[in-house]
Structure 1
C-alpha cells in the first residue's frame, strides 16, 4: 500500500501518540465537539452547550490561582465574544 508519508514519519507519529495519550484524547474531544456543533447541533443543543460553557467559564474564573489581571483579561475577552 502506498502512503503519502514516509515510514519514519508514520513511526514518529505513532510514538508521539503513544507518549502523549492524554493530549491526543483531549484533541480528539475538541475535534469531535467542533464537528458536532458545526454540522449537527440543533438550536436546543447550542443553547444547552452555551449554558454549560458559561457555567464552566464561571468555575474557571473563580480559580484562586488566577491573578486579577488574568481574570480581567478573560472577562474582557468573554464580553467581546458576546458582543460580536
Structure 2
C-alpha cells in the first residue's frame, strides 16, 4: 500500500497541518483528508491500528511537531512525500 501526499495547507492552529492524500489501496480516484498535530492524526481513511501508527510515525519523521513551517511542509510534499507499507503491516 502506498499513501501519497498531494497537497498540504495550514491547519486551524499553528500546531495543526492538513494533508490531502491518495491511498492507492483504497481508491486512486479519491482524495482523503488527514489532519496531523505531531502527536495525533485524524483522517477519513480505513486503516488498521498498526498502519495508522506507522503512518503517524512517518509523518512525524517527515514533518516533525508544531508549530509547523508551512513552506517547509510544502517543499517536502513537492519533493514527493509518499509512504509505502508492506502487506503484513496493513493486515495487523
Q: Which TM-score band applies after superposition, normalised by the shorter structure? A: under 0.3
Larger RCO, structure (CA 8 Å, separation 6 or more): 2
User: Bigger radius of gyration, 1 or 2?
Assistant: 1
Which structure shows the bigger proportion of residues in helix conformation? 1
